[in-house]
């Protein structure tokens, strides 16, 4: 079906879901040689929520239902489903198709997964927005859902404390009001840096064998220092790029929602952008890094706690494996 081309694409509803089970730093210190104090000081993380059997699609369905409720829409109003994840339920079919079936969304619409690691939600917003600007899709679900805990090597103390599970979802809708909603988006990638964060086995390059499992190659591997350095530089640059693109100054930002990877990365980026800490949304202490779900979880919480008002500029900045990066500027409707 073709609709009139919209003047704007707005976020009509947000929702999030995190599993109940909590793993504390002290729990992790029972397994590897570390401490709550070391983890908190180096990362800002105290706890993470961990799925007890719920898959990415199970969590996606819960966050999507919450977003639909907030948008006052039902599954039958949705024309497009994008799920961003590095932990799909299966290699195929896509998690988006599983979510479509579980939510009872009609079957003559596109549903697909998008993989851009921690930048997934920002990529997903750009893809959905561009498709919706064609006038073919009125309401889209962009859902980010990650079950990361099982891909962490429980005996690798340099990675096992960083990540947690969860899901965040946005309902994007066309609006006749010009100049509101998602007003700018910049994306990028550097495929020369694929080695700094990866899972080596389980794909077509190195299919799973008894040996790959014995060698722990199905677990996430990361060069933490290299990521830290790149994340700080690129997140600052991309935030400035999207502000430039939209003719908005950093001082006009009401709320910065950065990818929740490490409190020291977040604080350094905010400082370089001269955005004061009270305008930066941080929840890493409770959830750790939930990859692509981290920004929509934070955005959903920020809305629920009344931190976003009509006319506010909200800046999302993300960075992840690939490398990938992106920044989105929203003028709240
Ligand atoms: N407990 C105690 N000591 C530890 C631990 C631990 N859990 N992990 C590492 N160490 C030790 C190291 O062995 C090292 O010891 P050494 O000096 O004797 O060799 C020492 O602590 C310092 O290690 P570094 O790796 O230099 O520690 P750093 O200050 O860089 O902090 C961290 C590590 C927290 C992983 C940091 O590099 C980081 O956050 N990097 C970014 C990673 C990230 O955000 N990844 C998320 C995925 S990508 C994304 O989402 C954008």
Tell me: pLDDT of 2 over 80. Answer: no
Asked whether 43 lines ligand 1 (CB < 6 A), one says yes
- What is the tally of structural domains in the chain? 2
Domain shared by 325 and 192, yes or no: yes
Q: By percentage, how much of the chain surpasses pLDDT 90?
A: 99
Are β-strands 253-258 and 313-320 bridged in parallel, bridged antiparallel, or unpaired?
parallel
Domain shared by 315 and 192, yes or no: yes
Domain shared by 204 and 68, yes or no: no
CA 276 to chain centre: 23
pLDDT for 4 equals 82
In a domain, 3, yes or no: no
Q: Considering only CA atoms, which of 27, 91, 19 is closest in space to residue 53?
A: 19
| Average pLDDT over the chain, rounded to an integer | 97
pLDDT for 44 equals 98
Length of the chain: 333
Name, in order, each residue with C-beta under 8 angstroms of 45's C-beta and a sequence gap of 6 or more: 25, 39, 161, 162, 263, 284, 285, 288, 289
Residue finishing a domain among 116, 150, 179: 179
In a domain, 276, yes or no: yes
Distance from Cα 225 to the centre of ligand 1, integer Å: 7
Q: How many CB atoms lie within 10 A of CB 247?
A: 9
Distance CA 72, CA 100 (A): 18
pLDDT, tens only, 62-121: 999 999 999 999 999 999 999 999 999 999 999 999 999 999 999 999 999 999 999 999
Residue 118 a catalytic site member: yes
pLDDT for 240 equals 98
pLDDT for 73 equals 98
* Contact predicate 57/141, CB 8 Å: no
Asked whether 99 lines ligand 1 (CB < 6 A), one says no
SS3 content of the chain, % helix, strand, coil (to 5): 40, 25, 35
Q: Is the N-terminal amide bond of 323 cis, ω within 30° of 0? A: yes
User: What is the arithmetic mean of pLDDT over 270-298?
Assistant: 98
Domain shared by 230 and 272, yes or no: yes
Residue 246 a catalytic site member: no
Tell me: pLDDT of 291 over 70. Answer: yes
Nearest CA to ligand 1 atom 21: 158
Domain shared by 152 and 200, yes or no: no
pLDDT, tens only, 211-268: 999 999 999 999 999 999 999 999 999 999 999 999 999 999 999 999 999 999 999 9
In a domain, 1, yes or no: no
Q: Which structural domain, as residue segments, surrounds residue 98?
A: 8-179
Distance from Cα 235 to the centre of ligand 1, integer Å: 19
Mutate to test the pocket of ligand 1, among 158, 234, 268 (most ligand atoms within 8 A of CB): 158
Cβ density class 215-246: b for 16+ within 10 Å, e for less:
eebbbbbbeeeebbebbbebbbbbbbbbbeeb
* Contact predicate 115/84, CB 8 Å: yes
pLDDT for 3 equals 75
pLDDT for 259 equals 98
Asked whether 159 lines ligand 1 (CB < 6 A), one says no
Q: By percentage, how much of the chain surpasses pLDDT 70?
A: 99
User: What is the arithmetic mean of pLDDT over 286-292?
Assistant: 98
Tell me: pLDDT of 1 over 80. Answer: no
In a domain, 40, yes or no: yes
Tokens linked to 10: 């707005």
Domain shared by 165 and 201, yes or no: no
Tokens linked to 8: 């704007």
User: What is the arithmetic mean of pLDDT over 146-171?
Assistant: 97
Asked whether 262 lines ligand 1 (CB < 6 A), one says yes
Q: How many CB atoms lie within 10 A of CB 282?
A: 17
In a domain, 14, yes or no: yes
Residue in 118, 160, 174, 262 annotated catalytic: 118
What residues does 171 pair with on adjacent strands?
13, 141
Residue finishing a domain among 137, 161, 179: 179
Asked whether 225 lines ligand 1 (CB < 6 A), one says yes
CA distances from 54 to 49, 50, 87, 88 (A): 12, 9, 12, 12
CATH number, residue 75: 3.40.47.10
């Amino acid at each position: 079906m073709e609709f009139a081309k919209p003047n704007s694409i707005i976020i009509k509803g947000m929702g999030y879901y995190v599993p109940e089970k909590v793993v504390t730093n002290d729990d992790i210190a029972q397994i590897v040689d570390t401490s709550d104090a070391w983890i908190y000081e180096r990362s800002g993380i105290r706890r993470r929520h961990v799925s007890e059997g719920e898959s990415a699609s199970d969590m996606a369905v819960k966050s999507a239902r919450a977003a639909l409720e907030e948008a006052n829409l039902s599954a039958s109003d949705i024309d497009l489903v994008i799920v961003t994840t590095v932990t799909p339920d299966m290699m195929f079919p896509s998690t988006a198709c599983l979510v479509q079936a579980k939510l009872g969304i009609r079957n003559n619409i596109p549903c697909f997964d998008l993989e851009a690691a921690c930048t997934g939600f920002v990529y997903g917003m750009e893809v959905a927005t561009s498709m919706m600007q064609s006038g073919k899709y009125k309401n889209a679900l962009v859902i980010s859902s990650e079950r990361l805990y099982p891909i962490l090597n429980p005996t690798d103390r340099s990675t096992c404390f960083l990540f947690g599970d969860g899901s965040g979802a946005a309902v994007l809708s066309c609006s006749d009001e010009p100049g509101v909603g998602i007003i700018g988006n910049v994306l990028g990638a550097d495929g020369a840096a694929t080695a700094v964060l990866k899972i080596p086995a389980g794909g077509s390059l190195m299919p799973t064998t008894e040996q790959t499992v014995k060698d722990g190659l199905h677990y996430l591997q990361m060069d933490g220092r290299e990521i830290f350095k790149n994340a700080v530089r690129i997140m600052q640059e991309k935030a400035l790029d999207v502000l430039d693109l939209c003719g908005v100054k950093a001082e006009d930002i009401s709320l910065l929602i950065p990818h929740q990877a490490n409190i020291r990365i977040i604080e350094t980026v905010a400082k370089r952008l001269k955005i004061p800490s009270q305008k930066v949304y941080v929840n890493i202490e409770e959830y750790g890094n939930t990859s692509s779900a981290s920004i929509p979880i934070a955005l959903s919480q920020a809305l629920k706690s009344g931190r976003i008002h009509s006319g506010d500029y909200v800046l999302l900045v993300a960075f992840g494996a690939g490398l990938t990066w992106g920044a989105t500027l929203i003028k709240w409707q």
